[in-house]
Amino acid sequence: MNVAIPKENLENETRVAATPGTVKELVKLGLNVFIESEAGFNAHFSDEAYINAGAAILDSKKDIFSKADIVLKVMPPTLDQIVLLQPKSTMVSFCQTTVDLDTVKALKEQTVTGFSMHLIPRTTLAQKMDALSSQANIAGYKAVLMAASKLGVYMPLLMTAAGTIRPAKVLVLGAGVAGLQAIATAKRLGSQVEAFDVRPVVKEQVESLGAKFIEVESKDDEGIGDGGYAKETSDDYKKRQQELIHDHISKSDVVVTTALIPGRPAPVLITNTMVDAMKPGSIIMDLASENGGNCELTKKDEIIVHNGVTIDGTSNIPGSMPVHASELYAKNITAFLAYMIKDGQLELDLNDEIISGALYTHLGEITHEPTAEAIKR
């Protein structure tokens, strides 16, 4: 079978879905690997390195897509790319299937089997395939460094001849993978860190990193959804949550927001009124900007200043670290593909939790129920 890795063509997308290291793994699986010329350029992987790993280089994007039985990408394919795909071929990439509806419909019409790395189940067996977590780790780490570079104060406590400099106060909203890495990074830089999450079960993880966990009193399962993700909370909880956040955000130098609900717009945690209460010079890093943002004022891929408060809506933060982001993503997607390859052929067990969980189009049908419902609306 032929596996193809095209060059990502979205603006500011620096990642690539295969590295020379994962190409070797794909070849060992009995697959023929084709790489579009300069696909790894922005991540500093040369065509020569891919050739030495066992891949063939193709100059034409048309050839890449038309030759492929399986295509591995970072971002979803464009409509122009989908029409180049062979019927009954397979596409594996990130895809927010309840949002990227035109992509889903085009793959269905082309009878392409579509797998989304967004939909990989959060199970022990699927851990090494969990691309969302590997990229969220990078986003949480880099967001704190980006905030520190913009901040007008030191992050750590400093004792100087001129006096003592207090540490910066960092508030992290959402203690998933990105949030926990943001906490760890801010602590390593010497900041005072607080964190909030609707899931009380993460309190121990937050405190183990040296941060203070702030919480709204509630039932233990109030904010816990499927797979350990957050879910929508009651109106009463939201009211008390806003009061709590307002109190803590007004004292913070840096706020990192990471709250997401699968298949839904990002919850608004920071209102305009809260931003108005923040100190001039403080910074909000909104890691949910791609899904609408956790702050009412966030604009995707824009940095705005409101009453002296900087709100950074940069969406593809992992793309600012293309080497490690590509290495981790390539390992995730290769592990997923290897799980389905038997004797050099793709074998789909539709009763398998991981395979069926990540599948959204197959043989001209939409197989992911929430996606099918979104298209009907």
Average pLDDT value for residue range 332-356? 97
> Is 229 in the active site?
yes
What pLDDT is attached to residue 71? Answer: 98
Catalytic residue among 133, 205, 250, 320: 133
Asked which of 7-11, 227-231, 283-287, 300-304 is least confident by mean pLDDT, the reply is 227-231
Q: 137 pLDDT exceeds 80?
A: yes
> Is 133 in the active site?
yes
Catalytic residue among 63, 122, 205, 240: 122
Give the whole-angstrom CA distance, residue 156 versus residue 133.
28
Q: 10 pLDDT exceeds 80?
A: yes
Comparing 45 with 200, the larger pLDDT belongs to 45
Catalytic residue among 46, 60, 66, 127: 127
Residue keyed to tokens 């309840």:
98
- Give me the chain's average pLDDT, please: 94
pLDDT band at 239 (very low <50, low <70, confident <90, very high): confident
Average pLDDT value for residue range 321-332? 98
Average pLDDT value for residue range 273-300? 97
Catalytic residue among 37, 63, 205, 229: 229
Q: Which CATH superfamily is domain 2-129+322-376 in?
A: NAD(P)-binding Rossmann-like Domain (3.40.50.720)
> Is 226 in the active site?
no
What pLDDT is attached to residue 298? Answer: 98
Instruction: Please state which CATH number belongs to domain 135-315.
Output: 3.40.50.720
What pLDDT is attached to residue 122? Answer: 92
> Is 15 in the active site?
no
Ramachandran angles phi, psi of 209, nearest 5°: -90, 0
The Cβ of residue 246 has, within 10 Å, a number of other Cβ atoms equal to 15
Ramachandran angles phi, psi of 376, nearest 5°: -70, -30
pLDDT band at 228 (very low <50, low <70, confident <90, very high): low
Residue ranges covered by each domain of the chain = 2-129+322-376, 135-315
Give the whole-angstrom CA distance, residue 310 versus residue 338.
44
The Cβ of residue 208 has, within 10 Å, a number of other Cβ atoms equal to 11
Average pLDDT value for residue range 143-171? 96
Average pLDDT value for residue range 214-243? 68
CB 337 within 8 A of CB 25: no
pLDDT band at 1 (very low <50, low <70, confident <90, very high): very high
Catalytic residue among 130, 253, 286, 312: 130
Comparing 170 with 260, the larger pLDDT belongs to 170
Q: Do domains 2-129+322-376 and 135-315 have the same CATH topology?
A: yes
> Is 234 in the active site?
no
Give the whole-angstrom CA distance, residue 219 versus residue 335.
38
pLDDT band at 199 (very low <50, low <70, confident <90, very high): confident
What pLDDT is attached to residue 345? Answer: 96
The Cβ of residue 52 has, within 10 Å, a number of other Cβ atoms equal to 12
Q: Which residues contact 88 (CB under 8 A, 6 or more apart)?
A: 111, 112, 113, 363
Residue keyed to tokens 């019409």:
109
Q: 195 pLDDT exceeds 90?
A: yes
Percent of the chain with pLDDT over 70: 95
What pLDDT is attached to residue 220? Answer: 54
Residue keyed to tokens 């203070």:
212
What pLDDT is attached to residue 221? Answer: 57
What is the distance in angstroms between the CA of the first residue and the CA of the last residue of the chain? 38
What pLDDT is attached to residue 360? Answer: 98
What pLDDT is attached to residue 227? Answer: 54
Average pLDDT value for residue range 47-55? 98
